Amino acid sequence: MHSKRDLIQERPIGVFHEGISFLAECDPVYLAERQELGAVNFQLGKDLFCRAAELGREIQGLSLESLPDGTRMQLFDALDELALTLIRIAKFSPESLSDPEEERDTLLYDAQTQYDHASL
């Protein structure tokens, strides 16, 4: 049985940086204003997407290896979840959904919650 400390040490630091890189490099305007989505766009999340990109850039500038293992793991988990949600937003397609507005709203809510958790 692995302890949490073992799991943190087994997971390469580079894997954590992928989510941070996505956040830092994401295009908030693209995420918010994709024309192909029409009325089911993510315009309401534009400010959140801008803040998430800024957070990613700020985190890139930190020496994360110097953080305590538990703190680093919590930060990486929160940033990974936020990055995954933004990826889902980037790939969002309303065609196959019975209620695309509800799915959009859920994704925006999740992104906001994850951003709040990551920026604490």
pLDDT at 14: 52
32-71 tens-digit pLDDT: 998 888 889 999 999 999 999 999 999 888 777 777 888 8
Alpha helices of the chain — where are they, by DSSP H?
Answer: 4-10, 13-25, 28-33, 46-60, 69-90, 100-118
Whether residue 27 lies inside any domain: the answer is yes
Give domain status of residue 31, yes or no. yes
The rounded distance, in Å, linking the Cα atoms of 27 and 65 is 27
Within-domain flag for 97: yes
Q: Is the dihedral of CA 48, 52, 55, 61 positive or negative?
A: negative
Cα–Cα distance measured from residue 119 to residue 100, given in angstroms and rounded to the nearest whole number: 28
Let me know if residue 5 belongs to a domain. no
111 in any annotated domain? yes
Question: In total, how many domains does the chain have?
Answer: 1
pLDDT for the residue 76: 85
The pLDDT confidence band at residue 2, using thresholds 50, 70 and 90, is very low
- Examine residue 7 and state whether it is found in any structural domain, yes or no: no
Residue 48 domain boundaries: 12-118
Q: Does residue 3 register a pLDDT over 50?
A: no
- Report the predicted TM-score, pTM, of the whole model to 2 decimal places: 0.81
pLDDT digits (tens, 9 = 90+) for 4-36: 444 444 445 455 567 888 899 999 999 999 888
* 41: in domain: yes
Within the chain, what is the greatest distance between any pair of CA atoms? 50
Q: Is residue 56 one of the residues assigned to a domain?
A: yes
